[in-house]
C-alpha cells in the first residue's frame, strides 16, 4: 500500500491519519467539521493533508450514502456537502486523488480485511451505534448497489409490532429517514432508550440501561430482551439473503460482550444455516475502523 491520507468525518469532527498499511495508521489529530461552507470544509482537509504529505491520495470514511453511479453524496448531517459529487469536487480543489465511502462500508471493509472477518468470503458488518447501519463485503470488495444503499438494514418498515416473552406491543416509531417502523428506531442506542421509555416510562441513557441489565435489573432486562428480539429477525433475514459467513458488530452497543452474545444466539435460532459457532461477533478493529477501511479502499483503487 502506498501512503494514504485518511479521514473519518462525522457531523462534529474530522479525524485524520496517515496510513502505510491497514496495520500502520498514524493519527493526525482532529478538527471540527465545517457544516455550512464547502470551501471551508475543503480547507480543513487541506490543512491536515498538506502538513502530512503534499501528494498522497486522500481516502474518506463519512456519514451519509454515496451513489456509486453518480458519485453524489446524501448527507443530512453536513449540509455543505449534501448533494455534491464529493470525491470529484474535493479532487479538483485539493489537487490530488480523493476516494469517498460510507462509514459503515469502511467499517465492514476493515473487519473483512484486518478484523473479525479476515479469511471469510462474505462479511456483513453491522453497526449498532446511535442508530443501525451496515455494509456488505464479498471477496474483499464493498458491495455498493444502485444508489449506494447496499447493507443499510436499519431502514425500511420491517420492525415487529410485538416483542419479548410474554409479547408486548411495540409502536411503529417514525424514523428520521421519513418512514415508519424502521429497525433503526428500536435497535441502536436511541432505540434502546426509546424502548425503555415506552416499556417503563423512564428516560435513561442507553449506557445506563445496558449497565443495569448486566447488573441484574429486571426492567432493563425486559428492555434488552425486546431490543434483541426486534433486531434478531431482520438481521437473520439479511444473513439468509446474503449468505454472510460472519457478522462483525461495531458501535456503542457492541462494547457489551453479553449483548452481542445474546444477539448472536437469537440470530442463530432464526437462520437456515445450522452452526454452533458464533456468527454475530464483536468487531476487532476497535481503534478507528473507519480510517482503516478508508485506507484499504484507497489502496485497492490506487
Instruction: Give me the pLDDT at residue 293, please.
Output: 86
In a domain, 297, yes or no: yes
Judged against a pLDDT cut of 60, whether residue 14 lies above it is answered with yes
In a domain, 64, yes or no: yes
Judged against a pLDDT cut of 80, whether residue 301 lies above it is answered with no
Judged against a pLDDT cut of 60, whether residue 302 lies above it is answered with no
299: three-class secondary structure by DSSP: helix
Read off the DSSP letter of residue 80. G
CA–CA distance, 3 with 48 (Å, rounded to integer): 14
Whether 115 and 140 have beta carbons less than 8 Å apart is answered as no
The residue segments making up the domain with residue 238 are 119-282
Instruction: Give me the pLDDT at residue 49, please.
Output: 92
The larger pLDDT score, comparing residue 193 to residue 176, is at 193
Statement to judge: residues 156 and 16 lie in one domain = no
Statement to judge: residues 145 and 260 lie in one domain = yes
Judged against a pLDDT cut of 70, whether residue 1 lies above it is answered with no
Instruction: Give me the pLDDT at residue 199, please.
Output: 97
Judged against a pLDDT cut of 90, whether residue 130 lies above it is answered with no
Q: What is the mean pLDDT of the chain?
A: 91
Whether 122 and 135 have beta carbons less than 8 Å apart is answered as no
> Sign of torsion, CA 171 210 212 218?
positive
Residues with Cβ within 8 Å of residue 120, at least 6 apart in sequence:
112, 245, 246
Instruction: Give me the pLDDT at residue 288, please.
Output: 78
In a domain, 111, yes or no: no
Statement to judge: residues 80 and 156 lie in one domain = no
- Report the DSSP beta bridge partners of residue 250: 127
Reported as a single tens digit per residue, the pLDDT across 228-241 is: 999 999 999 999 99
pLDDT band at residue 146, thresholds of 50, 70 and 90? low
Statement to judge: residues 221 and 125 lie in one domain = yes
In a domain, 151, yes or no: yes
Statement to judge: residues 157 and 73 lie in one domain = no
Number of H helices, E strands in the chain: 9, 14
Choose the weakest-confidence range: 14-23, 113-122, 157-166. Answer: 14-23
Statement to judge: residues 251 and 276 lie in one domain = yes
Statement to judge: residues 276 and 168 lie in one domain = yes
Q: What is the DSSP string of 1-44?
A: ---EEEEEE-SSEEEEEEEEETTEEEEEEEEEPP-S-HHHHHHH
196: three-class secondary structure by DSSP: helix
CA–CA distance, 75 with 67 (Å, rounded to integer): 11
Q: What is the CATH number of the domain that holds 294?
A: 3.30.420.40
Statement to judge: residues 182 and 272 lie in one domain = yes
Mean of pLDDT values over 195-214: 97
- Maximum alpha-carbon separation in the chain: 61
Length of the chain measured in residues: 302
Instruction: Give me the pLDDT at residue 98, please.
Output: 93
Mean of pLDDT values over 193-217: 97
pLDDT band at residue 7, thresholds of 50, 70 and 90? very high
Instruction: Give me the pLDDT at residue 269, please.
Output: 96
pLDDT band at residue 2, thresholds of 50, 70 and 90? confident
Statement to judge: residues 183 and 270 lie in one domain = yes
In a domain, 243, yes or no: yes
Number of domains forming the structure of the chain: 2
Judged against a pLDDT cut of 90, whether residue 93 lies above it is answered with yes
CA–CA distance, 292 with 66 (Å, rounded to integer): 18
In a domain, 113, yes or no: no
Cis peptide before 246 (omega within 30 of 0): no
Statement to judge: residues 35 and 85 lie in one domain = yes
Statement to judge: residues 275 and 292 lie in one domain = no
The larger pLDDT score, comparing residue 219 to residue 275, is at 219
pLDDT band at residue 153, thresholds of 50, 70 and 90? very high
In a domain, 114, yes or no: no
pLDDT band at residue 202, thresholds of 50, 70 and 90? very high
CA–CA distance, 207 with 271 (Å, rounded to integer): 29
Instruction: Give me the pLDDT at residue 148, please.
Output: 65
The larger pLDDT score, comparing residue 151 to residue 132, is at 132
Statement to judge: residues 164 and 227 lie in one domain = yes
Strand order in the sheet with 4-9: 24-32, 13-21, 4-9, 58-62, 98-102
Amino acid at each position: 500500500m502506498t501512503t494514504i491520507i485518511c479521514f473519518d468525518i462525522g457531523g462534529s469532527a474530522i479525524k485524520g491519519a496517515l496510513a502505510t498499511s491497514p496495520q500502520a495508521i498514524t493519527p493526525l489529530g482532529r478538527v471540527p467539521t465545517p457544516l455550512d461552507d464547502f470551501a471551508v470544509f475543503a480547507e480543513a482537509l487541506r490543512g491536515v493533508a498538506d502538513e502530512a504529505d503534499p501528494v498522497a491520495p486522500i481516502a474518506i470514511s463519512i456519514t451519509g450514502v454515496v451513489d456509486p453511479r453518480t458519485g453524489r453524496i446524501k448527507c443530512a448531517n453536513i449540509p455543505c456537502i449534501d448533494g455534491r459529487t464529493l470525491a470529484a469536487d474535493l479532487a479538483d480543489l485539493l489537487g490530488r486523488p480523493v476516494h469517498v465511502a460510507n462509514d459503515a462500508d469502511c467499517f465492514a471493509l476493515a473487519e473483512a480485511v484486518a478484523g473479525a472477518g479476515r479469511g471469510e468470503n462474505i462479511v456483513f458488518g453491522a453497526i449498532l451505534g446511535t442508530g443501525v447501519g451496515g455494509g456488505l463485503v464479498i471477496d474483499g470488495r464493498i458491495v455498493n448497489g444502485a444508489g449506494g444503499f447496499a447493507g443499510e438494514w436499519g431502514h425500511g418498515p420491517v420492525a415487529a409490532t410485538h416483542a419479548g416473552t410474554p409479547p408486548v406491543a411495540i409502536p411503529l416509531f417514525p424514523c428520521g429517514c421519513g418512514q415508519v417502523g424502521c429497525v433503526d428506531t428500536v435497535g441502536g442506542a436511541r432505540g434502546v432508550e426509546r424502548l425503555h421509555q415506552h416499556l417503563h416510562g423512564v428516560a435513561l441513557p442507553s449506557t445506563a440501561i445496558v449497565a443495569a441489565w448486566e447488573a441484574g435489573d429486571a426492567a432493563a432486562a425486559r428492555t434488552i430482551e425486546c431490543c434483541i428480539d426486534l433486531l434478531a429477525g431482520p438481521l437473520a433475514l439479511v444473513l439468509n439473503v446474503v449468505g454472510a459467513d460472519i457478522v462483525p458488530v461495531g458501535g456503542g452497543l457492541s462494547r457489551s460482550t453479553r449483548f452481542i452474545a445474546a444477539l448472536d444466539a437469537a440470530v442463530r435460532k432464526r437462520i437456515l444455516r445450522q452452526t454452533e459457532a458464533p456468527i454475530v461477533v464483536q468487531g476487532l478493529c476497535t481503534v478507528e475502523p473507519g480510517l482503516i477501511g478508508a485506507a484499504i479502499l484507497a489502496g485497492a483503487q490506487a
